């Protein structure tokens, strides 16, 4: 399958669900619950997926498939400012504002991600919509097991809650299970990755010349299950200086990385949404642009500090 994502059709413009802008940011979305506004939401597979997919294990050297370098990543806490970058007239979106807090921590037997995403959409008719997503995960350091909990609110009302876990058996695939919204299981195809393992593969391949790959990614942020993700690894970048608490984290090399998130339905040829980011080789996301087709949202780093090391 070609890694390059085809252009998205205007009629396929995303509608954002309560997951917010996926870092945990998605597009093809189910009908909103009765507690939600009648205004459709652009659906993203959580900016969760994106930042989630970008949290990694500090101080660990890995040599995944097609690796060109070892990876040593830094657990950290960061906040990002969200704003509207561009909107076409047909999008109906006049403004987007918000914040995302993101924490990646070493939990000895695995690593955890805690993320809170808050965003306000203002539409051209004057209507406003507030979206909040809380997302927490644990991933085993060997990449074989995963647990998740997601809670989404629209205008202060509960919209969706998901929880469960998953296991993988090498390249043989595995099984994911949901406790909420209802108990069920689904098969994970061979080659499926959890977020941190996916990030490690990205950072092990940047600069190697092996710049394209596609895998199913499971993070639990959507009820449909894994999302096929195409990854394009770009050139080294030199971001502008930024003053933060632990500025030494920003001294790591930065790379341009683009991801295209596709629907789980293999008959859908176009991506739900695409992201382009500046990713540091220690796992810190410096900035990100999320493209939903009819509008784009940018995420800019505001604060950054090291996460405490665990007593293990």
pLDDT, tens only, 30-66: 222 222 333 444 444 444 444 444 433 333 333 334 3
Q: What's the pLDDT score for residue 227? A: 85
Parse the chain into domains and list their residue ranges. Answer: 11-306
Residues 6+ apart with CB under 8 A from 23: 46, 47, 48, 49, 50, 51, 52, 54, 80, 100, 102, 115, 117, 275, 285, 288, 290, 299
Owner of token pair 């009648």: 38
Of 52-56, 153-157, 295-299, the least confident: 52-56
Query: Average pLDDT of the chain?
Result: 79
From residue 107, give the alpha-carbon distance in Å to each of 113, 132, 199. 10, 26, 18
Tokens encoding 246: 């632990």
Q: What's the pLDDT score for residue 289? A: 95
From residue 201, give the alpha-carbon distance in Å to each of 47, 172, 187, 252. 19, 18, 22, 17
How far is 145 from 69, CA to CA, in rounded Å?
24
Q: What's the pLDDT score for residue 118? A: 94
Average pLDDT over residues 223-251: 90
Average pLDDT over residues 161-172: 92
Residues 6+ apart with CB under 8 A from 62: 70, 71, 200, 204
Question: Is the preceding omega at residue 181 within 30 degrees of 0, hence cis?
Answer: yes
From residue 5, give the alpha-carbon distance in Å to each of 193, 221, 266, 272, 310. 20, 22, 14, 10, 40
- pTM passes above 0.85: no
pLDDT at 12 over 90: no
């Amino acid at each position: 399958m070609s890694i390059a994502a085809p252009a998205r059709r205007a009629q396929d413009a995303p509608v954002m669900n309560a997951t917010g802008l996926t870092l945990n940011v998605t597009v093809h979305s189910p009908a909103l619950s009765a507690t939600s506004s009648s205004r459709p939401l652009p659906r993203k597979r959580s900016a969760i997926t994106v930042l989630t997919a970008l949290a990694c294990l500090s101080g660990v050297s890995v040599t995944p498939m097609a690796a060109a370098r070892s990876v040593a990543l830094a657990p950290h806490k960061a906040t990002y400012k969200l704003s509207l970058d561009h909107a076409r007239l047909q999008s109906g979106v006049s403004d987007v504002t918000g914040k995302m807090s993101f924490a990646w921590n070493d939990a000895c037997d695995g690593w955890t991600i805690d993320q809170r995403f808050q965003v306000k959409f203002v539409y051209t008719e004057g209507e406003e919509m507030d979206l909040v997503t809380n997302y927490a995960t644990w991933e085993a350091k060997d990449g074989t097991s995963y647990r998740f909990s997601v809670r989404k609110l629209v205008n202060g009302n509960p919209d969706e809650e998901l929880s469960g876990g998953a296991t993988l058996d090498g390249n043989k695939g595995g099984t994911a299970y949901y406790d909420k919204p209802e108990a069920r299981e689904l098969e994970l195809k061979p080659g499926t990755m959890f977020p941190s393992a996916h990030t490690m593969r990205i950072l092990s391949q940047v600069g190697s010349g092996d710049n394209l790959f596609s895998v199913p990614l499971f993070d639990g942020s959507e009820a449909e299950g894994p999302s096929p993700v195409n990854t394009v690894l770009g050139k080294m970048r030199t971001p502008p200086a930024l003053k933060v608490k632990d500025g030494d984290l920003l001294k790591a090399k930065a790379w341009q990385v683009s991801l295209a998130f596709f629907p789980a339905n293999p008959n859908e040829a176009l991506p739900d949404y695409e992201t382009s980011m500046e990713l540091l080789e220690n796992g810190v996301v410096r900035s990100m642009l999320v493209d939903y087709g009819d509008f784009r949202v940018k995420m800019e780093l505001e604060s950054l500090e090291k996460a405490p090391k665990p007593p293990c």
